[in-house]
């Protein structure tokens, strides 16, 4: 060995062999490189659904499961809670032709969520009742914040609301923000699970449920605005810390355009601003596309015509790329579909509770246009909308003409509960750091 080391090339060979052995061991023991994290949310199937509706004694709730629609009558005024597999939808319609509560009102049974946004008239102009339901067997805690024209105004009155297991709380928003004439409202679940709904009865007449609005974003699409007479009022809130300059484009049955004199809207940080768009959309079925410098939430108040006016609400909503379904419809129902950015197409299936099964049909929507589709079936029925191509948004409207004035209700097409999108996940210790 000493002779080998003393040889001129022996030491060099020994060093090379040692280094090769070290690199070999390192190569074998090195873990395989992790694949790069996905750059976009993943579409994953929903396994189970819990849907909650505010109680209304004697009202019939439509319950849809893929391929079938049934009805259940509420025996009392307790919240209606139904659980089932993916695709479950539920909701009901109320019809009152006389008195202070005159109007057609529709509500979708909502699933518990971490945060819910609502936009509509404030307690100064309407009787607004917020419904919070804990359908689970564990306690929940929620914070309610009301934003008005002058900014956040509910203060600490809406924070730390405890909701016991199985409890339902109905809150008159006059107790939180009596001075707000227009509002955006957020309900944040601190822990537990809370389902949220709100019903507004206007002092000037009309009643409906406020649909959940898409969370604050710099691009918001408000679909499902029916044609015909009556005022149309856009409400936009900027709940963040920065002012928002919002550009507005209308997408009607005939054109996509910026409304003259209503091309943009300035919304102060924490405030809510109203814009009358009645003349801008000129009585055509339409949608509004908002592009903002800061995240905003938006909704729209639809007022009917006649001696006694009814009211309906729509709000910003995601596109139909996950599909959608409305469990309870009636005579006078129609879909309002809007294609943004290019042409689009969807497949529509009417699922009737009685009568022959209807064949699904495809609806093509031209780029930058809104299309109205009448729905026909006997009795109560569900409608299912499946994406085919393009970026399409939609709403469902029900109208009934009476001699005393038009009854109407609206509902933006929320994502179906068949699929959900999970955000990208990264293997990093930062996810557990404060």
- Please give the DSSP secondary-structure letter assigned to residue 357: P
Higher pLDDT, 209 or 2: 209
- pLDDT for position 418: 87
Distance CA 280, CA 223 (A): 15
Q: Kindly list the strands in the beta sheet with 344-352, ordered across the sheet, starting from the edge strand earlier in the chain.
A: 324-329, 381-389, 344-352, 361-365
The least confident of 93-97, 195-199, 421-425 is 421-425
* Token reading at 239: 């709940």
Listed as own residue / partner, the contacts of 419-423 with beta carbons closer than 8 Å and 24 or more positions apart are 419/43, 419/44, 419/45, 419/46, 419/322, 419/323, 420/43, 420/44, 420/46, 420/322, 421/41, 421/42, 421/43, 421/44, 421/322, 422/41, 422/42, 422/44, 423/41
Mean pLDDT in residue range 229-247: 97
- pLDDT band at residue 358 under the 50/70/90 scheme: confident
**Contact of 288 with 246, CB cutoff 8 Å:** no
Could you tell me the two tokens for 339?
A: 């294609």
Tokens of 236: 């936009």
Q: What is the mean pLDDT of residues 406-412?
A: 97
pLDDT band at 429, cuts 50/70/90?
low
**Residue 20: its pLDDT value, please?**
56
What integer is the mean pLDDT of 183-209? 97
Instruction: Tally the residues of the chain.
Output: 434
Does some domain include residue 250? yes
Q: What is the mean pLDDT of residues 251-257?
A: 97
Tokens linked to 195: 């389902």
Task: List, in order, residues 6 or more apart from 72 with CB less than 8 Å away.
Answer: 60, 61, 63, 80, 82
Does residue 21 form part of some domain? no
Q: Is residue 29 part of a domain?
A: no
For the beta carbon of residue 167, count every other beta carbon within 10 angstroms. 14
Average pLDDT, the chain: 90
CA-nearest of 88, 87, 85, 133 to 113 is 133
Q: Is the pLDDT of residue 89 over 90?
A: yes
Mean pLDDT of 190-213: 96
pLDDT at position 120, please? Answer: 98
Please tell me the predicted confidence (pLDDT) of residue 196. 98
- Domain annotation covers residue 433: no
Q: Which residue has the tokens 């209304």?
A: 56
d(CA 111, CA 51): 5
Q: Is the pLDDT of residue 23 over 50?
A: yes
Query: Is 430 a domain residue?
Result: no
Q: Is the pLDDT of residue 219 over 70?
A: yes
pLDDT of residue 4: 47
pLDDT of residue 432: 47
For residue 107, which of 56, 67, 50, 70 has the smallest C-alpha distance?
Answer: 56
* pLDDT tens, position by position, 164-195: 999 999 999 999 999 999 999 999 999 999 99
Please tell me the predicted confidence (pLDDT) of residue 422.
74
Lowest mean pLDDT of 35-39, 206-210, 282-286, name the range: 35-39
Residues 134-145 have a mean pLDDT of 96
Give the number of other Cβ atoms within 10 Å of residue 356's Cβ: 8
Average pLDDT over residues 256-283: 96
Asked if residue 405 lies in contact with residue 97, where contact means CB atoms within 8 angstroms, the answer is: no
Q: What is the enclosing helix (H) or strand (E) of 17?
A: helix 10-29
C-alpha span between 166 and 323 (Å, rounded): 31
What residue has token string 């109680």?
Answer: 55
Most confident range, picked from 55-59, 100-104, 184-188: 184-188
Number of domains in the chain: 1
Closest CA to 133 of 159, 109, 157, 105: 109
Residue 434 pLDDT > 50:
no
429 three-class SS: helix
Q: What is the mean pLDDT of residues 30-58?
A: 78
pLDDT at 427: 59
292 pLDDT band, cuts 50/70/90, is very high
Mean pLDDT throughout 364-371?
98
The DSSP symbol for 255 reads -
Please, which pLDDT band fits residue 206 given cuts at 50, 70 and 90?
A: very high
Q: pLDDT for 126-138, tens place per residue?
A: 999 999 999 999 9
DSSP code of 258?
A: P
Phi-psi region of 106 (alpha: psi -120 to 50; beta: other; left: phi over 0): beta
Name the residue among 272, 421, 329, 294 with its Cα closest to residue 71: 329
Cα 316 to Cα 319: distance, rounded to the nearest angstrom = 10
| Cα 337 to Cα 251: distance, rounded to the nearest angstrom | 10
Type and span of the H or E element at 142: strand 140-148
Residue 305: is its pLDDT beyond 80?
yes
The pTM of this model reads 0.88
In-domain check, residue 233: yes
What is the side-by-side order of every strand in the sheet holding 333-339? 369-374, 333-339, 392-402, 405-412
Does residue 339 carry a pLDDT above 90?
yes
Domain that holds residue 416: 42-422
What is the structure's pLDDT at 431?
46
Residue 23 lies in a domain: no
Which tokens in the block code for residue 326?
């409305």
Cα–Cα distance, 277 to 395 (Å, whole number): 18
């Amino acid at each position: 060995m000493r002779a080998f080391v003393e040889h001129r090339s022996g030491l060099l060979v020994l060093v090379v062999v040692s280094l090769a052995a070290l690199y070999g061991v390192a190569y074998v023991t090195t873990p395989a490189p992790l694949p790069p994290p996905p750059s976009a949310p993943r579409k994953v199937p929903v396994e189970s659904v819990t849907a909650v509706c505010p109680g209304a004694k004697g009202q019939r709730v439509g319950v849809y499961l893929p391929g079938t629609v049934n009805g259940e009558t509420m025996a009392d005024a307790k919240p209606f809670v139904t659980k089932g597999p993916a695709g479950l939808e539920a909701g009901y319609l109320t019809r009152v032709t006389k008195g202070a509560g005159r109007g057609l009102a529709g509500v979708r049974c909502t699933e518990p969520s971490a945060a819910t946004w609502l936009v509509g008239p404030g307690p100064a102009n309407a009787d607004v009742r917020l419904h919070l339901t804990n359908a689970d067997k564990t306690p929940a805690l929620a914070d309610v914040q009301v934003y008005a024209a002058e900014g956040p105004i509910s203060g600490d009155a809406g924070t730390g609301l405890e909701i016991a297991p199985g409890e339902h709380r109905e809150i008159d928003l006059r107790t939180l923000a009596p001075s707000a004439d227009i509002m955006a409202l957020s309900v944040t679940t601190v822990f537990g699970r809370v389902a949220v709904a709100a019903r507004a009865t206007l002092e000037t007449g009309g009643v409906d449920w406020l649909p959940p609005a898409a969370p604050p974003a710099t691009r918001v699409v408000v679909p499902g605005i029916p044609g015909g007479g009556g005022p149309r009022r856009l409400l936009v809130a900027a709940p963040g810390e920065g002012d928002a300059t919002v550009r507005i484009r209308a997408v009607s049955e005939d054109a996509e355009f910026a409304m003259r004199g209503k091309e943009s809207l300035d919304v102060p940080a924490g405030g809510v601003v109203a814009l009358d768009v009645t003349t801008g959309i000129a009585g055509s079925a339409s949608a509004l596309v908002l592009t903002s410098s800061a995240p905003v939430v938006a909704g729209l108040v639809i007022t009917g015509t006649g001696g006694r006016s009814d009211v309906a609400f729509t709000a910003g909503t995601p596109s139909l790329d996950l599909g959608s379904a409305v469990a309870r419809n009636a005579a006078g129902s129609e879909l309002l579909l809007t294609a943004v950015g290019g042409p689009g197409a969807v497949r529509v299936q009417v699922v009737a509770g009685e009568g022959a099964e209807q064949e699904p049909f495809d609806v093509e929507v031209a780029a930058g246009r809104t299309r109205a589709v009448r729905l026909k079936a006997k009795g109560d029925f569900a409608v299912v909308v499946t994406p085919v191509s393009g970026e399409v948004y939609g709403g469902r409207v029900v109208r009934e003409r009476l001699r005393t004035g038009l009854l109407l209700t609206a509902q933006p097409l929320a994502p179906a509960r068949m699929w959900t999108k999970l955000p990208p996940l990264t293997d990093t210790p930062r996810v557990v750091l404060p």
